[in-house]
Amino acid sequence: MPPYAPTIGSPLTTLDTPSMIVDLALMESNISKLFSTLLPTGVSIRPHLKTTKSAILAHRLVAAGATGCCVAKVSEAEAITAAGFTDILITCEIIGAAKVKRLAELVKKYPGRLRVVVDSEAGARAIDEALEGLGLGEREGLDVLVDVDVGLHRTGVHGEEAAVGLARVVAGLGRLRLIGVQGYEGHLQHVGEREERRRACLAAMGTLVGTADRLRREGFEISVVTTGGTGTAEFCASVPGVTELQPGSFIFMDTDYRDAVGRFYSNSLTVLATVVSRQGRRQVTIDAGLKSLTTDSGLAECKDPRYSHRNLGDEHGALTWDEGTPDLHIGDRVEMIPSHIDPTINLHDFYYAHRDGVIEEIWPVDSRGKVQ
């Protein structure tokens, strides 16, 4: 921690800005809502840490009822295992000699803690060869899921025949153990009309569950069918054959998810910013720009909706307001709601978690910048 950082028990007013802050009461409510809604369905919940990038929060989610966690990249898995977490699914394909070597070394260091997805024979064989090269025996191997394209057209095998063919390859490799299938309907997460999102999700789940059933008929033991995100988890949980869900953004939310799925979950994370300049009668400049708030899903919003936001570059943003709204002054603090939570968190080193304006916990962003 830098020497000027606030300590636990300090008020939020002691924070330098921009700072990423979390309202603990709202976050805890979000966690409670998700687990009380989904756990009774009997489906396991494996939250995706590409949102929080935090082992502390991973443990908190397990305490709430989660089964392990997901990460996107090998480098994220390295950071989260080093921080003490022990049950991780890496949800992106692991391709390239350097990355496969890192995976193999991680498997050797933390046996039994990892599982991965594959969608190609080349990828599966490279992982198996790397494990063999480190001297791992068949009993020290790696659990593998076949990644299935359910409509996103980003990764995954296309069709049941391709899944069966890849499953046969995996089954023939000495250090990989086929345990299930993964399918991510990312293209449906932000479909705004609820019934349209539900229908499309059920169709995607039909593809995924159908593939799992086909693999079982071919003699493969498929125990895991993992899928889902914050915008679709409730629909995925209703489908017989789905065993596991991967929501992530629900814990903090953002304006993109809020606009798509409503306000069941609260925006518990904001970026605290300071007014640094006055530009005219009803415009000020804040010290949060592109290096603090991402814009790939649109602009962040001021928590107080009376103030409109626009970006002014790397370090700055503007807030404007209508006549009759209270003026903002130099030195005032404002909270900004991110438009896309995952990449925004990746811009910050720490969370400052508060209750009623008093800092109660400080969490490092363990896997910040871990994109490999």
CATH number of the CATH domain containing 73: 3.20.20.10
183 shares a domain with 38: yes
Whether 143 is covered by a domain: the verdict is yes
338 shares a domain with 296: yes
Whether 2 is covered by a domain: the verdict is no
| Among 217, 251, 285, residue at a domain's last position | 251
Partners of 320 in the beta sheet? 283, 308
3-class secondary-structure state, position 23: strand
pLDDT above 70: residue 183: yes
Domain span at 359:
12-19+264-363
The DSSP annotation for 138-185 comes to: GGG-EEEEEEB-SS--SSSB-SHHHHHHHHHHHHTSTTEEEEEEEE--
Mean pLDDT of the chain: 96
pLDDT digits (tens, 9 = 90+) for 19-67: 999 999 999 999 999 999 999 999 999 999 999 999 999 999 999 999 9
215 shares a domain with 89: yes
Q: Given pLDDT bands bounded at 50, 70 and 90, which one contains residue 337?
A: very high
Q: 18: buried, middle or exposed (CB in 10 Å: 19+, 13-18, 0-12)? A: buried
306 shares a domain with 183: no
173 shares a domain with 60: yes
Averaged pLDDT for residues 219-235: 98
Number of H helices, E strands in the chain: 10, 17
Q: Given pLDDT bands bounded at 50, 70 and 90, which one contains residue 140?
A: confident
Q: In the prediction, which pLDDT does 136 show?
A: 85
Whether 278 is covered by a domain: the verdict is yes
Q: 343: buried, middle or exposed (CB in 10 Å: 19+, 13-18, 0-12)? A: middle
pLDDT above 90: residue 137: no
| Among 190, 218, 251, residue at a domain's last position | 251
Whether 272 is covered by a domain: the verdict is yes
CA 191 from centre of chain: 18
Averaged pLDDT for residues 189-205: 97
pTM of the predicted model, to two decimals?
0.96
Q: Given pLDDT bands bounded at 50, 70 and 90, which one contains residue 3?
A: low
CATH number reported for the structural domain that contains residue 328 in this entry: 2.40.37.20
180 shares a domain with 318: no
Averaged pLDDT for residues 116-128: 98
Whether 369 is covered by a domain: the verdict is no
171 shares a domain with 40: yes
Q: Given pLDDT bands bounded at 50, 70 and 90, which one contains residue 363?
A: very high
Averaged pLDDT for residues 318-342: 98
Q: In the prediction, which pLDDT does 6 show?
A: 85
The b-or-e profile of 57-77 (16+ CB within 10 A means b, else e) is: bbebbbebebebbbbbbbbbb
